[in-house]
C-alpha cells in the first residue's frame, strides 16, 4: 500500500514539474524572480509609504504642479457647470452643453439649462427598441452566434456617443431643465439600467422562442407591447416626457421678455436649429488603423432608424488644426478621451507628467498610443466639451481646456489639458463642416470600412 502511495505521489510531482517546464513558475524560476526585489532600505521605505497611502499621492510630480494654469489665448463663451452625478450620461451632457453655449451666445441669454432627463428617457426607450429589433432579426441564429451573444451581453446602457445626441435631438427636440427636472433614477442610473436589462433579456427569450413561421405583424405587435412595459418603467422612474410646455425668456437683468408655448422640437428650432446629423463630422485619432479612411461601427447607434457611429481617422495634428479654428470662431466641440489616465483631480489637470510612476517603481512604461490601443490599455471613456486653447506666437497649441460634467470639481468645473496629453489620450472630436478642409470632407465619399459592434473602439463615453 505504501508503495502505491509513493508511486502516486512521485507521479504527481513529475506531472507538476512537467506543467512548470511548459510555462509554469518552477522553484528555480521563483528564486530568480525574487532576486529582482532586494528589499533594501529604500525598498522598505517605499513599501511603508505605499502601504499607507494612495499611489497617485506618492507619484505626484512636484516639479510639474505649476506647469498648467487657467490662462488661455482663445476661449468659447459658456456659462454654468453641469453635473451628471452617478450616471454614464457624459455623452448627453457634452452634446447639450455644446448646444447650450451656442444658444447663450446667439440669443444673448443670461443662462440656459437643458433637461438631460428628457432626452435620456427617449434614449433608453430607443435603445430598448434597438435591442429587441436586433433580437428579432437574429432570432433564427444560434444563441452562441457572435452577434446574438453581443446583443444579450449588451441589451442597454447609459453610455453613448455623439451620434446618439444627434439622432435623439433631431427626433425628439430638447426642453429646458425646469420642464423635466432630474430624478433620483436619472442622477443614479445603475439600478434602473439593471431592471430594464433584465426585462429585455426576458423579452429576448420570448421573441427567440416564437414559432419560426410567426407572422411579421404578430412579432411587431408583440414588440410594441414589450416596449409599452419599458415605457411604463421609464415613466415611473424618470417622469413622462412633456409634449407641450410654456417657457419664459429672460434678459440679462432677469426680466421676462417673452412667454411662449413650445413643443420640444419647436423649442429646438427656435433656439438652436443646427443640423446635427448633416453639418458635423466625427474625427478620430486611432493610430492602430490606417489614417485618411472612413470607418463605421455596426449597431453602434442609439436609434434603430438612426445613424451608426461613422468617423474619419486622421493624424492628431490635423484634428488639432480644426479644433483651434473652431474655438477661435467661438464654437465648442464634442470631445472624448481616456480621462482616467494621469488625471490630477484636485488641480483639474490632465498631463502625462502629472505622476512619476517610473521613479516610484523603478521601471519604464514605454508603450505608445498605437500599442496601448492594440492591447486594450487605452480607449475613449468620457466625453466633455472642448472650449479653450492656448496658442503660441506661431499658432501652435500649448494647452487646452474642456468643460466637464462632474459639478464644481477640478479647475472651476473644467479640466486643463497639456498638449502632450492631448496627443496621447484624445480620441474623438466632432467639428462643424465649415472648419473641415475640403480634402477631408471628400473622404466622406468613401465606402466606410465596416467594423463589428464588439470592436474595442466601440466603447461608449460615460
Does residue 9 belong to any structural domain of this protein?
no
| 158 lies in the same domain as 237 | yes
pLDDT, tens only, 278-301: 999 999 999 999 999 999 999 889
Please identify, among 227, 254, 271, the residue that sits at the C-terminal boundary of a domain: 271
* Strands 256-262 and 280-284, bridge-based pairing: unpaired
Pair (265, 350) in one structural domain: no
Looking at the fold, whether 260 and 332 belong to one and the same domain comes out as: no
- What pLDDT band is residue 408 in, cutting at 50, 70 and 90? very high
Domain co-membership, 303 together with 350:
yes
On whether both 117 and 263 belong to a single domain, the answer is yes
pLDDT at 382 over 90: yes
| Distance from the Cα of residue 365 to its chain's centroid | 25
Report the 3 state secondary structure along 232-271.
HHHHHHHCCCCCCEEEEEECCCCCEEEEEEECHHHHHHHH
> Which of the four pLDDT bands, split at 50, 70 and 90, describes residue 9?
low
pLDDT in tens, 45-102: 999 999 999 999 999 998 888 889 999 999 999 888 999 999 999 999 999 999 999 9
Q: Which is it for strands 414-418 and 426-432: parallel, antiparallel or unpaired?
A: unpaired
- Overall number of domains in the chain: 2
Residue 137 lies in a domain: yes
Mean pLDDT across 119-124: 98
pLDDT value of position 34 = 93
Indicate whether 398 belongs to any domain. Answer: yes
pLDDT of residue 346: 92
**416 domain residue, yes or no:** yes
CA separation for the pair 151, 185 (Å, rounded): 24
Q: Which residues of 244-262 are buried (b: 16+ CB within 10 A; e: fewer)?
A: ebebebeeeeeeeeeeeeb
> Do 214 and 333 belong to one domain?
no
Question: Distance (Å, rounded) from C-alpha 234 to C-alpha 73?
Answer: 45
> Dihedral through CA 120, CA 295, CA 148, CA 137, nearest 10?
80
Positions annotated as catalytic residues are 90, 382, 404
Are both 201 and 297 inside the same structural domain?
Answer: no
145 and 199 assigned to the same domain: yes
Instruction: Tell me if residue 225 falls in helix, strand or coil.
Output: helix
Residue 98 lies in a domain: no
In a domain, 39, yes or no: no
Distance of CA 388 to the CA centre of its chain: 20
What is the percent of the chain where pLDDT is above 90?
Answer: 85
**Rg, C-alpha atoms of the chain:** 26
Same domain? For 353 and 207 the reply is no
Q: Are residues 313 and 209 in the same domain?
A: no
**Contacts for 324 with CB less than 8 Å, ≥ 6 apart:** 74, 389, 391, 395, 397
What pLDDT score does 220 carry? 97
Q: How high is the pLDDT of residue 80?
A: 84
Q: How confident is the model at residue 253 (pLDDT cuts 50, 70, 90)?
A: confident
Domain boundary at 271, 296, 314, which? 271
308 pLDDT higher than 90:
yes
Is the predicted pLDDT of residue 404 greater than 90, yes or no? yes
The CA-to-CA distance between both ends of the chain, in Å, stands at: 64
Q: Is the pLDDT of residue 312 over 70?
A: yes
pLDDT of res. 251:
84
Question: Do residues 320 and 341 both lie within one domain?
Answer: yes
Query: Looking at residues 432-451, what average pLDDT do you find?
Result: 97
Residue that finishes a domain, picked among 222, 256, 271: 271
Q: What is the pLDDT of residue 153?
A: 96
322 contact partners, CB below 8 Å, separation of at least 6: 283, 429, 431, 435, 436, 437
More confident: 35 or 421: 421
The CATH number given to whatever domain includes residue 171 is 3.90.70.10
Q: Does some domain include residue 17?
A: no
Q: Judge if 261 and 297 occupy the same domain.
A: no
Share the mean pLDDT of the chain.
Answer: 93
Q: Please state whether 239 falls in left (phi above 0), alpha (psi between -120 and 50) or beta.
A: left
- Residue 428 has, within 13 A of its CA and on its CB side, a CA count of 33
The domain containing residue 447 runs over which residues?
Answer: 275-458
Which runs of consecutive H residues, i.e. helices, occur in 211-366?
A: 216-238, 264-271, 316-328, 357-361
Give the H/E segment covering residue 333.
Answer: strand 333-337
Give the pLDDT confidence score for residue 458 in this predicted structure.
66
Beta bridge partners of 449: 295
Asked whether residue 66 is assigned to any structural domain, the reply reads no
| Helix 162-172 and helix 90-106, axial crossing angle in degrees, nearest 10 | 60
pLDDT at 180: 97
Range of weakest confidence among 100-109, 120-129, 283-292, 350-359: 100-109
CA-wise closest residue to 283 among 437, 99, 455, 454: 437
Cα gap 96→160, rounded to integer Å: 13
Amino acid at each position: 500500500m505504501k508503495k502505491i502511495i509513493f508511486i502516486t505521489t512521485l507521479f504527481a510531482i513529475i506531472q507538476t514539474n512537467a506543467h512548470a517546464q511548459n510555462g509554469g513558475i518552477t522553484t528555480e524560476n521563483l528564486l530568480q524572480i525574487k532576486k529582482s526585489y532586494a528589499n533594501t532600505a529604500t525598498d522598505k521605505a517605499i513599501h511603508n509609504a505605499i502601504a499607507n497611502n494612495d499611489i497617485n499621492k506618492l507619484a505626484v510630480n512636484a516639479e510639474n504642479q505649476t506647469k498648467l494654469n487657467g490662462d488661455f489665448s482663445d476661449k468659447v463663451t459658456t456659462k454654468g457647470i453641469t453635473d451628471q452625478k452617478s450616471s454614464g450620461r457624459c455623452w448627453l451632457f457634452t452634446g447639450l452643453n455644446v448646444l447650450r453655449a451656442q444658444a447663450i451666445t446667439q440669443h444673448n441669454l443670461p443662462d440656459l439649462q437643458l433637461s438631460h432627463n428628457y432626452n435620456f428617457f427617449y434614449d433608453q426607450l430607443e435603445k430598448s427598441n434597438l435591442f429587441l429589433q436586433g433580437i428579432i432579426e437574429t432570432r433564427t441564429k444560434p444563441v452562441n452566434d457572435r452577434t446574438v451573444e453581443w446583443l444579450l451581453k449588451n441589451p442597454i446602457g447609459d453610455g453613448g456617443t455623439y451620434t446618439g445626441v444627434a439622432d435623439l435631438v433631431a427626433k425628439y427636440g430638447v426642453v429646458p431643465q425646469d420642464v423635466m427636472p432630474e430624478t433620483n433614477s436619472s442622477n443614479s442610473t445603475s439600478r434602473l439600467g439593471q431592471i430594464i436589462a433584465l426585462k429585455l433579456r426576458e423579452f429576448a427569450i420570448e421573441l427567440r422562442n416564437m414559432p419560426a413561421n410567426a407572422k411579421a405583424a404578430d412579432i411587431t405587435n408583440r414588440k410594441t407591447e414589450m416596449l409599452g412595459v419599458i415605457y411604463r418603467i421609464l415613466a415611473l422612474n424618470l417622469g413622462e416626457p412633456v409634449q407641450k410646455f410654456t417657457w419664459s425668456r429672460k434678459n440679462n437683468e432677469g426680466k421676462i421678455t417673452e412667454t411662449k408655448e413650445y413643443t420640444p422640437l419647436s423649442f429646438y428650432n427656435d433656439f438652436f436649429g443646427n443640423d446635427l446629423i448633416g453639418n458635423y463630422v466625427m474625427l478620430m485619432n486611432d493610430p492602430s488603423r490606417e489614417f485618411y479612411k472612413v470607418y463605421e461601427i455596426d449597431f453602434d447607434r442609439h436609434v434603430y432608424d438612426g445613424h451608426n457611429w461613422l468617423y474619419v481617422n486622421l493624424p492628431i495634428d490635423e484634428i488639432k488644426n480644426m479644433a483651434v479654428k473652431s474655438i477661435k470662431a467661438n464654437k465648442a466641440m464634442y470631445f472624448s478621451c481616456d480621462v482616467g489616465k494621469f488625471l490630477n483631480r484636485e488641480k483639474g489637470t490632465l498631463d502625462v507628467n502629472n505622476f512619476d510612476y517610473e521613479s516610484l517603481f523603478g521601471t519604464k512604461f514605454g508603450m505608445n498610443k498605437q500599442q496601448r490601443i492594440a492591447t486594450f490599455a487605452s480607449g475613449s471613456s468620457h466625453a466633455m466639451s472642448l472650449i479653450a486653447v492656448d496658442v503660441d506666437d506661431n499658432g501652435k497649441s500649448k494647452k487646452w481646456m474642456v468643460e466637464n460634467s462632474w459639478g464644481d470639481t477640478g479647475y472651476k468645473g473644467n479640466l486643463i489639458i497639456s498638449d502632450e496629453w492631448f496627443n496621447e489620450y484624445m480620441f474623438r472630436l466632432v467639428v462643424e463642416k465649415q472648419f473641415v478642409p475640403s480634402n477631408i470632407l471628400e473622404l466622406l465619399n468613401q465606402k466606410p470600412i465596416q467594423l463589428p459592434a464588439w470592436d474595442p473602439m466601440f466603447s461608449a463615453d460615460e
